Amino acid sequence: MRMRLGCRLSFQLPAPTPMILLLNVHYSRASDLERPDLLVTEPAVAIEAYRDVFGNWCNRVAAPAGRFVVSTDGLIRDAGLSDPVEETAEQYPVERLPSDVLTFLLPSRYCESDLLSDFAWGRFGETALGWPRVKAICDYVNRHVRFGYEHSRATRTAVETLNEGIGVCRDYAHLAIAICRCLNIPARYCTGYVSDIGQPAPYPPMDFAAWMEVYLGGKWLVFDPRNNDIRFGRVLIARGRDAADVPLSHSFGHHDLKSFEVWIDKASKTDDLPQERR
């Protein structure tokens, strides 16, 4: 399966503003890109690319005052498989976990697992270890939280999501991650594309998505508490402890996001043409 993916974000800046942008497909999928999703800016500015401490691709720019647009557009090959289901994946005791996994057991900015321990053990302490426990957590979060873009708040934490029962995909992920960590299950936050391929119409406007990866059976496995169903065409952009580590855009100064467009779908024949011939 071949997919076209990309985004276009338009900002209004009152003054020249340094920015960091995490909008490119994760390096682990670089070999799948037929056309790289290179970052383009309007007006054109110098772009400095680097990797952060989690290995994510980041772009550093000095945006001028006024209207500033950033966009990507790429073609990627995908196996067309759904997220793997491994119901026998076991939970390792903490003493058997690799050292580089331990950081994903600790509380973080939006995942205050230290405040949710009593709740987590009281609610999930009797569930079977491993995959069944994580699935029970995702089922609970999916039922408990009511989705709505009108509920979006950039500072909402896992505890606040539990108390308020509302949020967007990042809030679902933060709450599920925090509960997993309470139960000694390493969990990390992911952001990227999730297509509507295989889903019934009508389709809502496309957006970037958030999910989590959980360390079970000696590897990281995808869980999506927001959708909590079978999904195809998932493409990672970045991963970290929570959304504070992987904001799609971070500005060192005031900015207004004026428009936001995201796309991912099966590629058509015209997607193979150079941009200027479309």
| Average pLDDT, integer, range 180-188 | 98
Q: What is the pLDDT of residues 139-158, one digit of tens each?
A: 999 999 999 999 999 999 99
Q: What is the pLDDT of residues 194-210, one digit of tens each?
A: 988 878 777 777 889 99
Question: What does residue 29 show for φ and ψ, rounded to 5 degrees?
Answer: -110, 10
The yes-or-no verdict on residue 276 having pLDDT over 50 is no
pLDDT reported for residue 229: 87
pTM score: 0.93
Q: With bands split at pLDDT 50, 70 and 90, how would you rate the model's confidence at 272?
A: low
Tokens of 188: 């990390």
The C-alpha atoms of residue 129 and residue 252 are separated, in whole angstroms, by: 43
The answer to whether 91 touches 216, Cβ cutoff 8 Å, is yes
Q: With bands split at pLDDT 50, 70 and 90, how would you rate the model's confidence at 274?
A: very low
Q: Which residues contact 201 (CB under 8 A, 6 or more apart)?
A: none
Beta bridge pairs of residue 223 = 212
Q: Which residues contact 193 (CB under 8 A, 6 or more apart)?
A: 5, 208, 209, 233, 234, 235, 237, 262, 264
What does the chain come to in residues?
Answer: 278
The C-alpha atoms of residue 131 and residue 160 are separated, in whole angstroms, by: 26
pLDDT reported for residue 168: 97
The answer to whether 174 touches 141, Cβ cutoff 8 Å, is no
Compute the mean pLDDT over every residue in the chain, rounded to the nearest whole number.
Answer: 94
pLDDT reported for residue 277: 35
The C-alpha atoms of residue 135 and residue 91 are separated, in whole angstroms, by: 13
The yes-or-no verdict on residue 30 having pLDDT over 60 is yes
